[in-house]
Amino acid sequence: MSRSNEKVLSYQDVLLRRADVELLRESEWLNDQIIAFYLEYLSQERLQGRPGVLFLPPTVAFLICNALSPAELMPMLEPLKIPQRKVVLLPVNDNTSVERAEGGTHWSALVCCPEAAACIHFDSAAGSNRSAAQRLCRAVGPLLGLAGAPRLVEARMAQQRNSHDCGVYTIAVAEAIAGTPDLESRSADGVREALERFPFPEPAGMRRGVRDLVARLAARQGRAPGAEEQPE
């Protein structure tokens, strides 16, 4: 087994290998696994007691947008009770190829408010992922219990200064949701305004924080990831 393929952390349904963890270094583009891990971590550790909030992993968002019809997805997603949620986060990826499920070049975040029939799009390269967000917004409508597509609203957020931090900003939106405890009681405009005001961390600090988190969790499992000691 190559070193890059070594298992570093098994967390809930997410398996991180060394190659995944190394993407948390500077100048690397985050993949599905890292984003899925952090969303799952926030769900388990920060969203307990907040049944109105749901984070969906990148693979599910991709299936909704590109692969399966609402009729095929409904039985799979019914246990999640998506229409009853107040705030639902879906990672947006511009990949449209079912042949390359982990492809794409840009991440953003779609925050859906089913009761308001609205989805709020947070894009750290404003406009770059709008068409992908529109596709996902149309596809998710039936799963939100809506007859048509939700209203799509573009939100303001900090903008990336390079081509590789989009995934970091995407998980930062999840961090903002987890860090705003009364979000579920707000209107869609209130959700947007609260998240726009949230102080987003610098990407380098966010990368270090997630890398250190992986190291701590791996140590509890008796694994030594080592990636946390890589230079920035």
Residues identified as active-site? 106, 123, 166
The residue with tokens 């968002």 is 61
CA distance 111 to 108: 10
Query: Quick one: 28 exposed, middle or buried, by C-beta within 10 A (0-12, 13-18, 19+)?
Result: middle
Neighbours of 116 (CB within 10 A): 18
Contact 59, 68 (CB under 8 A): no
CA distance 227 to 225: 5
CA dihedral over 87, 91, 95, 99, signed as positive or negative: negative
Contact 109, 61 (CB under 8 A): no
Output DSSP code: residue 46. Answer: T
Quote the crossing angle between the two packed helices 166-178 and 32-45, to the nearest 10°. 10
